[in-house]
C-alpha cells in the first residue's frame, strides 16, 4: 500500500519533470524573497510547500515553543547562534576553545572523506552520467538547504560553513546512484518513468523510515540544553529533511528529464550495461522486494521511543525550568567572561582564535589536496573496495597466521629468503578438506604459503570458515557469495570440498569476472609467484558467459592478439575485408598486396561440402566377422538404418557416406556427414556414437576400441584428408594480367610459374610432403582461423593446399593461378565463433552464425574466403621470393655489395656481399 503510494508519486515526478522542477525552483526563489520576520512568524504553521515543509518540519522537530533549541534561540531568546567561527558571537564566543576546533575539524574531515568515498563508489558504477547526476543532486540539495537555513533561521552566510559539512555527512549518494542507474537502464521514456516509479516504490518506504529515525535520533541532540550541540543537531536534522525532500521530488524529475534530453546523441549504453548487474534492477525482476522485517521493526520501535522522548522532553521543558536555566546561565556566563577579561587577554584570545581557525583551514586544505592528488595520480580505476579486498586477502590471511606457530616442515620447501624475511607476507592455507575434518579445529590447521604482496590493512577480518560456508550456501537475499569478501572465498576454496572447487568458482560465485580474479590470486599463491606477474594477462571486461562450459576451463584471462585486415578482396563478385589475427609481422601486409593483385580481375571459386568425419575403431573376434560387418554396413538397406540412427542426433548432421578400412580384425568406419554451418566435430561424434549402437545391435561381439580411431583424421597430418577431403573442399582461380604482375608484384608470369613448379611441386615432392604443395598456406589459414573463432589446431588439415600457376594460354603473359584446398574445417556456429571478438570478425565477412535460409552456406562462404585469402598470400610471397632471386642475379652480375632497396626487395633482405647469398 505504502509502496504503491510511493510508486504513484514517483510516476508523477517522472512524467511531469518540468512541472516538478519549476515548482521547486519557484518555491526556493520565493523562500529567498520572503521577508525574514514573516517567515519566522510563519514557522511551525506549515508552509505548504515541499521545502518549506522541510524547514517547518525541522522547526517543529526542534520545538517551536518554547525554545530550547535553535528555532527557539532564533525566535525568542534572539541570540544568534554562534556557529560561525570567523564571526564574533554573542555570549558563546568564550566557549570557543581548542576542543571545539578539534571536534569541528574532525567533523569536517570526516565529511570530506565520506564524500570522497561516496564519489569513489559512484565512480565504480562506471558512468559519468551517474556521477554527474548525483553531483547535480548534491549541488541542488545544498542550494535548497542553504536557502532554508538563511531564510528560516535568520542566519547569515557564515553560519553555513558548518552546516554544509553536515549536509555532506548525511547525504547518501548511493541511493541516488542506484536510482540513476536504474532509471537510465530504460531504453525509452516510458520505461524510464516506470523504472523511476518502481525504484521509488522499492527505496521510498525504507528511506522515509530512515529519515524519520534519523530526524528523531539527531533531534534528541536539540534537547540537550548545550547550545552548540543544539545548533549542530539542528543543522543535521535540516540536512536530513532537505536531502529527503529533494531525493523524493527534484531528483526523480531530474532523472526523467535528463533521459528525455539526452535521448538523441548521448550514448547511455554503458550505464545500461552496468545497470544490468545492479542489485536494484535484479530486485525489480523479483516478485516482491522484501525489506528486512526485523530491521524494519527495530526502526519502528526506535521511532516510537524517540517520539515519546521528544514529546516528554518538550512538555517537561515547556515550563519555566528551562527558560530559567537559559536565562540564568547565559548572563552568568557573560558576566564571568566579561569580568575576567583584560585587554591583553582579549588580544591573546583573538590571536589564539585566529591560529586555531587557521589550523582548521590548513587541516581541511591538506585533506582535500591529498584526496585530489590521490584520485588523480594514484587511484587506478579498479573499484576501491575491490582494491582493498585484493590487498586485504593477503593481509588478513597473514594476520590470521601469526597466531599459529610455524611448523618447521612448512618452511622446508620455502626459498631461503622467505625464512629470513618474515615481513614478506604469508598466507595460511587450510590443510584439510571439509569432508575430512570437522570444522571445529579447521581454522587452526594451516600451512604456510608464501605470498609476495605487501601487507595492507584489511577492510575487515575474515569470518570463521563455518560462518562463511553458511553465508555462501544461504538463499537469503542479503547473503550468498556476494556477501563474502575475496579472502573469505579464498579460504573456502583452500578448505576444499564441494562448496567452491577452484575449477567452478565462477559458477559458485555467480560472478565470472570475480571468480577469475580470485583464481588468479590462488594460482599465483600456489605457483609461489607474485600475482603481479599475471598483470599483463587481462581478464576484465570479457563476456565469460560465452566461454564457460564452452570454450575454456580454469580461466585466468585472455590473450589479446592483434587483428589486421587484408582487402579489398574481390571474390565471386563480392568484396571482402578479411580479418587476420597474427603476431607475424609483414604477413597481413603481404596478403594485402596479394589481394590487390587478385582483385583487379577478381577471384572465382567453387566449394563442395565434403563433410566432417569421425572414424571409430571397432574390433571383431575374427577377420571373417569383421569382413561380415563391413559387408553388412555397405549394404544399402542396412546403411539407411545406420544413417537414420546417425541423423536422429541432430537437426543439421546428415550422414553422407561410410568409408570403411579394414586392418586385421579391426574396422575403421569413417562416418562422413554434412553439419550445416557448424564445423561439426561434436555433431558427427554424437551421430557416430548412435550409429555404432545400431551396428552393435547387429554385431554384439563387436568391441568399440575408441570413438576416434585416427582414421578420421583430426588435427594430424594425413593423406586421407588430402585425398578424400574433410570439411569443405574449395578451389579458387584467377588470372592476373602481366601489367598487374609488373606494377603490384614487380615480376612476370613466367618467373612465377617456374618458381612455383620447382618450389611448390618439385621441392615439396622432394620433401615427401602430403598436402604441402604451397608456399605458406598455413599462415593465412591460421590468421583467419584465430580471428574468426575456428579451432586453431585444425590448421593442420585445413592448410592442405595445392598452389598451381600457369602462363595464361591466351597470351602467355598473364598468370593463371589456382589454389585447391580439399580439407578446410570451418564453421560459423559453435566453438569459439560465438565469442565477442571472433563473432565481430565473422560479422565483418557477413557470415556470422547460422545461415538464415540455407544451413551450411555461411560455413561454405567462409571456406571460400579462407581459400581466396590463401591465394593472395601465396601470390604475394611467391613474387617476393622470385624478386629476391632477381636481386641475387642482379648482384651476381654486378659483383658489388649493396643494400637491397625496399622497392626491389619486399622481404627487406640486406646483403653485404655476393658470397653471403650464393
* Active-site annotation, residues: 584, 715, 791, 890
Is 571 or 688 the residue whose CB approaches ligand ADP more closely? 688
Of 133-141, 201-209, 461-469, 848-856, the segment contacting ligand ADP by CB under 6 A is: 848-856
Q: Cα(767)–Cα(439) distance, rounded to whole angstroms?
A: 65
Of 432-440, 473-481, 507-515, 675-683, the segment contacting ligand ADP by CB under 6 A is: 675-683
Determine phi and psi for 820, rounding to 5 degrees.
-115, 120
Residues 76-95 that bind ligand ADP (CB under 6 A): none
Tell me the closest approach of the beta carbon of residue 571 to ligand ADP, in angstroms.
22
Exactly one of 394, 580, 681, 691 binds ligand ADP (CB under 6 A); which one? 681
Question: Hey, is 699 helix, strand or coil?
Answer: coil
Angle at 244 between CA 238 and CA 249, to 5 degrees: 125
End-to-end alpha carbon distance in the chain: 94
Tell me the closest approach of the beta carbon of residue 289 to ligand ADP, in angstroms.
38
Interface characters, 480-519, with ligand ADP (x: CB under 6 A):
----------------------------------------
Verify binding: residue 682, ligand ADP, rule CB under 6 A: yes
- Binding residues for ligand ADP, how many (CB under 6 A)? 19
For residue 880 the three cell numbers come to: 617476393
Tell me the closest approach of the beta carbon of residue 884 to ligand ADP, in angstroms.
41
Of 137-145, 234-242, 322-330, 828-836, the segment contacting ligand ADP by CB under 6 A is: 828-836
Between helix 50-62 and helix 189-221 the angle, nearest 10°, is 20
Is 155 or 649 the residue whose CB approaches ligand ADP more closely? 649
Q: Residues 6 or more apart from 519 whose CB is under 8 A from it?
A: 502, 505, 554, 555, 556
Tell me the closest approach of the beta carbon of residue 728 to ligand ADP, in angstroms.
13
Exactly one of 827, 832, 837, 873 binds ligand ADP (CB under 6 A); which one? 827
Tell me the closest approach of the beta carbon of residue 615 to ligand ADP, in angstroms.
16
Of 51-59, 62-70, 677-685, 749-757, the segment contacting ligand ADP by CB under 6 A is: 677-685
Is 138 or 650 the residue whose CB approaches ligand ADP more closely? 650
Tell me the closest approach of the beta carbon of residue 647 to ligand ADP, in angstroms.
13
Beta carbons of 101 and 263 less than 8 angstroms apart? no
Is 455 or 793 the residue whose CB approaches ligand ADP more closely? 793
Exactly one of 57, 205, 831, 906 binds ligand ADP (CB under 6 A); which one? 831
Verify binding: residue 678, ligand ADP, rule CB under 6 A: yes
How many Cα neighbours within 13 Å face the side chain of 54? 30
Verify binding: residue 850, ligand ADP, rule CB under 6 A: yes
Q: Cα(50)–Cα(253) distance, rounded to whole angstroms?
A: 14
Of 249-257, 420-428, 552-560, 824-832, the segment contacting ligand ADP by CB under 6 A is: 824-832
Exactly one of 72, 680, 725, 832 binds ligand ADP (CB under 6 A); which one? 680
DSSP annotation of 424 reads: S
Tell me the closest approach of the beta carbon of residue 794 to ligand ADP, in angstroms.
10
Beta carbons of 515 and 506 less than 8 angstroms apart? yes
User: Which residues pair with residue 612 across a beta bridge?
Assistant: 673
DSSP annotation of 669 reads: E
How many C-beta atoms lie closer than 10 Å to residue 431's C-beta?
Answer: 17
Is 212 or 610 the residue whose CB approaches ligand ADP more closely? 610
Which H, E and C letters describe 712-756, residue by residue? CCCCCCCHHHHHHCCEEEEEEEEEECHHHHHHHHCCCHHHHHHHH
Tell me the closest approach of the beta carbon of residue 838 to ligand ADP, in angstroms.
13
Tell me the closest approach of the beta carbon of residue 860 to ligand ADP, in angstroms.
11
Beta carbons of 74 and 222 less than 8 angstroms apart? no
Q: What is the DSSP string of 485-499?
A: -HHHHHHHHHH-SSS
Residues 108-147 that bind ligand ADP (CB under 6 A): none
Locus of grid cell 515553543: 65
Interface characters, 180-219, with ligand ADP (x: CB under 6 A):
----------------------------------------
For residue 48 the three cell numbers come to: 505548504
Tell me the closest approach of the beta carbon of residue 721 to ligand ADP, in angstroms.
17
Exactly one of 570, 578, 615, 683 binds ligand ADP (CB under 6 A); which one? 683
Is 13 or 681 the residue whose CB approaches ligand ADP more closely? 681
Of 160-168, 364-372, 431-439, 827-835, the segment contacting ligand ADP by CB under 6 A is: 827-835
For residue 587 the three cell numbers come to: 604477413
Is 193 or 828 the residue whose CB approaches ligand ADP more closely? 828
Q: Which helix (H) or strand (E) holds 742?
A: helix 738-745
Determine phi and psi for 418, rounding to 5 degrees.
-65, -40
Q: Cα(491)–Cα(196) distance, rounded to whole angstroms?
A: 40
Q: What is the DSSP string of 700-713?
A: TT-EEEES--SSS-
For residue 56 the three cell numbers come to: 517547518
Verify binding: residue 687, ligand ADP, rule CB under 6 A: no
Angle at 208 between CA 204 and CA 211, to 5 degrees: 140
User: Which residues pair with residue 816 across a beta bridge?
Assistant: 735, 806
Of 101-109, 153-161, 671-679, 749-757, the segment contacting ligand ADP by CB under 6 A is: 671-679
Question: Hey, is 382 helix, strand or coil?
Answer: coil
Is 803 or 828 the residue whose CB approaches ligand ADP more closely? 828
Tell me the closest approach of the beta carbon of residue 687 to ligand ADP, in angstroms.
10
Is 159 or 690 the residue whose CB approaches ligand ADP more closely? 690
Exactly one of 829, 841, 863, 880 binds ligand ADP (CB under 6 A); which one? 829
Of 158-166, 202-210, 252-260, 849-857, the segment contacting ligand ADP by CB under 6 A is: 849-857
How many Cα neighbours within 13 Å face the side chain of 677? 19
Tell me the closest approach of the beta carbon of residue 849 to ligand ADP, in angstroms.
7
Tell me the closest approach of the beta carbon of residue 726 to ligand ADP, in angstroms.
13
Verify binding: residue 676, ligand ADP, rule CB under 6 A: yes
Ranked by CB distance to ligand ADP, the top (closest) residue is 676
Q: Residues 6 or more apart from 860 whose CB is under 8 A from it?
A: 607, 609, 728
Is 685 or 764 the residue whose CB approaches ligand ADP more closely? 685
Residues 633-662 that bind ligand ADP (CB under 6 A): 650-652
Strands 802-807 and 617-619: unpaired
Is 322 or 671 the residue whose CB approaches ligand ADP more closely? 671
710, 689, 709, 730: which is closest to 820 by C-alpha? 730
Locus of grid cell 568564550: 94
Beta carbons of 74 and 153 less than 8 angstroms apart? yes
Exactly one of 84, 525, 822, 830 binds ligand ADP (CB under 6 A); which one? 830
Q: What is the number of residues in the chain?
A: 918
Is 123 or 729 the residue whose CB approaches ligand ADP more closely? 729
CA distances from 720 to 659, 660, 713, 776 (A): 11, 12, 7, 21
Exactly one of 499, 746, 855, 917 binds ligand ADP (CB under 6 A); which one? 855
Q: Cα(519)–Cα(502) distance, rounded to whole angstroms?
A: 7
Is 381 or 651 the residue whose CB approaches ligand ADP more closely? 651
Strands (E), 6-52: none
Q: Cα(474)–Cα(278) distance, rounded to whole angstroms?
A: 20
Strands 654-663 and 604-614: unpaired
Per CB under 6 A, residues contacting ligand ADP are 650-652, 675-683, 827, 829-831, 850-851, 855
Amino acid at each position: 500500500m505504502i509502496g504503491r503510494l510511493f510508486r504513484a508519486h514517483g510516476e508523477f515526478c517522472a512524467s511531469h519533470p518540468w512541472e516538478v522542477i519549476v515548482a521547486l525552483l519557484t518555491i526556493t526563489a520565493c523562500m529567498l524573497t520572503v521577508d525574514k520576520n514573516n517567515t519566522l512568524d510563519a514557522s511551525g504553521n506549515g508552509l505548504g510547500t515541499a521545502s518549506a515543509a522541510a524547514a517547518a518540519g525541522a522547526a517543529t522537530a526542534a520545538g517551536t515553543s518554547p525554545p530550547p533549541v535553535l528555532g527557539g534561540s532564533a525566535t525568542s531568546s534572539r541570540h544568534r547562534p554562534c556557529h560561525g567561527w570567523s564571526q564574533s558571537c554573542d555570549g558563546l564566543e568564550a566557549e570557543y576553545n581548542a576542543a571545539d576546533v578539534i571536534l569541528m575539524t574532525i567533523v569536517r574531515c570526516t565529511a570530506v572523506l565520506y564524500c570522497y568515498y561516496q564519489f569513489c563508489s559512484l565512480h565504480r558504477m562506471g558512468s559519468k552520467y551517474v556521477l554527474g547526476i548525483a553531483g547535480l543532486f548534491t549541488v541542488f540539495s545544498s542550494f535548497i538547504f542553504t536557502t532554508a537555513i538563511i531564510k528560516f533561521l535568520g542566519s547569515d552566510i557564515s553560519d553555513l560553513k558548518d552546516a554544509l559539512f553536515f549536509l555532506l555527512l548525511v547525504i547518501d549518494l548511493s541511493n541516488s546512484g542506484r536510482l540513476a542507474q536504474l532509471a537510465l537502464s530504460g531504453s525509452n521514456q516510458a520505461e524510464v518513468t516506470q523504472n523511476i516509479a518502481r525504484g521509488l516504490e522499492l527505496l521510498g518506504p525504507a528511506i522515509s523510515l530512515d529519515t524519520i529515525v534519523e530526524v528523531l535520533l539527531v533531534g534528541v541532540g536539540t534537547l540537550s540544553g548545550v547550545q552548540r550541540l543544539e545548533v549542530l543537531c539542528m543543522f543535521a536534522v535540516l540536512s536530513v529533511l532537505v536531502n529527503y525532500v529533494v531525493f523524493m521530488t527534484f531528483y526523480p524529475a531530474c532523472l526523467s528529464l535528463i533521459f528525455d534530453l539526452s535521448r538523441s546523441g548521448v550514448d547511455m549504453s554503458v550505464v545500461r550495461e552496468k545497470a544490468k548487474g545492479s542489485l536494484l534492477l535484479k530486485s525489480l525482476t523479483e516478485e516482491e522486494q522484501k525489506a528486512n522485517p526485523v530491521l524494519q521493526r527495530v526502526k519502528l520501535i526506535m521511532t516510537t521511543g524517540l517520539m515519546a522522548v521528544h514529546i516528554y522532553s518538550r512538555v517537561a521543558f515547556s515550563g519555566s525550568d528551562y527558560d530559567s536555566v537559559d536565562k540564568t546561565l547565559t548572563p552568568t556566563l557573560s558576566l564571568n567572561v566579561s569580568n575576567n577579561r583584560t585587554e591583553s587577554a582579549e588580544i591573546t584570545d583573538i590571536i589564539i582564535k585566529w591560529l586555531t581557525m587557521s589550523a582548521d583551514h590548513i587541516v581541511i586544505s591538506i585533506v582535500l589536496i591529498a584526496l585530489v592528488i590521490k584520485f588523480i595520480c594514484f587511484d587506478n580505476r579498479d573499484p576501491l573496495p575491490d582494491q582493498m579486498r585484493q590487498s586485504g586477502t593477503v593481509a588478513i590471511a597473514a594476520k590470521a597466521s601469526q597466531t599459529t606457530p610455524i611448523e618447521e616442515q612448512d618452511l622446508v620447501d620455502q626459498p631461503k629468503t622467505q625464512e629470513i624475511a618474515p615481513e614478506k607476507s604469508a598466507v595460511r592455507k587450510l590443510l584439510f578438506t571439509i569432508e575430512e575434518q570437522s570444522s571445529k579445529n579447521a581454522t587452526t590447521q594451516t600451512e604456510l604459503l608464501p605470498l609476495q604482496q605487501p601487507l595492507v590493512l584489511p577492510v575487515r577480518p575474515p569470518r570463521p570458515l563455518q560462518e562463511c560456508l553458511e553465508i555462501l550456501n544461504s538463499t537469503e537475499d542479503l547473503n550468498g557469495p556476494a556477501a563474502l569478501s575475496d579472502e573469505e572465498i579464498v579460504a573456502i576454496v583452500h578448505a576444499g570440498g564441494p562448496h567452491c572447487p577452484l575449477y567452478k568458482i565462477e559458477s559458485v560465485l555467480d560472478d565470472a569476472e570475480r571468480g577469475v580474479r580470485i583464481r588468479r590470486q590462488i594460482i599465483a599463491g600456489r605457483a609461489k609467484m607474485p600475482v603481479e606477474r599475471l598483470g599483463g594477462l587481462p581478464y576484465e571486461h570479457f563476456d565469460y558467459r560465452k566461454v564457460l562450459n564452452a570454450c575454456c576451463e580454469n580461466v585466468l584471462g585472455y590473450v589479446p592478439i592483434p587483428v589486421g585486415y587484408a582487402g579489398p578482396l574481390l571474390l565471386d563478385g563480392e568484396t571482402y575485408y578479411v580479418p587476420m589475427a597474427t603476431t607475424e609481422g609483414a604477413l597481413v601486409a603481404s596478403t594485402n598486396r596479394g589481394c590487390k593483385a587478385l582483385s583487379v580481375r577478381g577471384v572465382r571459386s567453387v566449394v563442395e561440402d565434403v563433410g566432417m568425419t569421425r572414424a571409430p575403431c571397432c574390433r571383431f573376434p575374427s577377420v571373417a566377422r569383421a569382413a561380415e560387418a563391413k559387408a553388412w554396413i555397405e549394404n544399402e538397406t542396412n546403411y539407411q538404418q545406420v544413417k537414420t540412427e546417425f541423423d536422429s542426433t541432430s537437426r543439421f548432421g546428415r550422414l553422407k557416406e561410410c568409408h570403411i578400412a579394414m586392418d586385421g580384425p579391426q574396422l575403421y568406419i569413417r562416418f562422413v556427414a554434412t553439419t550445416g554451418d557448424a564445423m561439426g566435430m561434436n555433431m558427427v561424434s554424437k551421430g557416430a556414437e548412435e550409429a555404432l549402437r545400431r551396428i552393435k545391435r547387429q554385431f554384439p561381439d563387436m568391441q568399440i576400441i575408441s570413438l576416434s580411431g585416427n582414421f578420421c583424421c583430426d588435427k594430424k597430418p594425413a593423406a586421407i584428408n588430402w585425398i578424400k577431403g574433410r570439411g569443405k573442399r574449395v578451389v579458387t582461380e584467377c588470372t592476373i594480367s602481366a601489367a598487374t604482375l609488373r606494377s603490384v608484384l614487380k615480376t612476370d608470369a613466367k618467373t612465377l610459374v617456374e618458381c612455383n613448379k620447382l618450389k611448390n611441386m618439385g621441392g615439396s615432392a622432394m620433401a615427401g610432403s602430403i598436402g604441402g604443395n604451397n608456399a605458406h598456406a598455413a599462415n593465412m589459414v591460421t590468421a583467419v582461423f584465430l580471428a574468426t573463432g575456428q579451432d586453431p589446431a585444425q590448421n593442420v588439415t585445413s592448410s592442405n593446399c595445392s598452389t598451381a600457376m600457369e602462363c595464361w594460354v591466351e597470351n602467355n603473359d598473364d598468370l593463371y593461378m589456382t589454389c585447391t584446398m580439399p580439407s578446410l574445417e570451418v564453421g560459423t556456429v559453435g566453438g569459439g565463433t560465438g565469442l565477442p571478438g571472433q563473432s565481430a570478425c565473422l560479422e565483418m565477412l557477413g557470415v556470422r552464425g547460422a545461415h538464415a535460409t540455407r544451413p551450411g552456406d555461411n560455413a561454405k562462404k567462409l571456406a571460400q574466403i579462407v581459400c581466396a585469402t590463401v591465394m593472395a598470400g601465396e601470390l604475394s610471397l611467391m613474387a617476393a621470393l622470385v624478386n629476391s632471386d632477381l636481386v641475387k642475379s642482379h648482384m651476381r652480375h654486378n659483383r658489388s655489395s649493396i643494400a637491397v632497396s625496399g622497392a626491389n626487395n619486399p622481404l627487406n633482405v640486406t646483403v653485404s656481399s655476393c658470397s653471403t647469398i650464393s
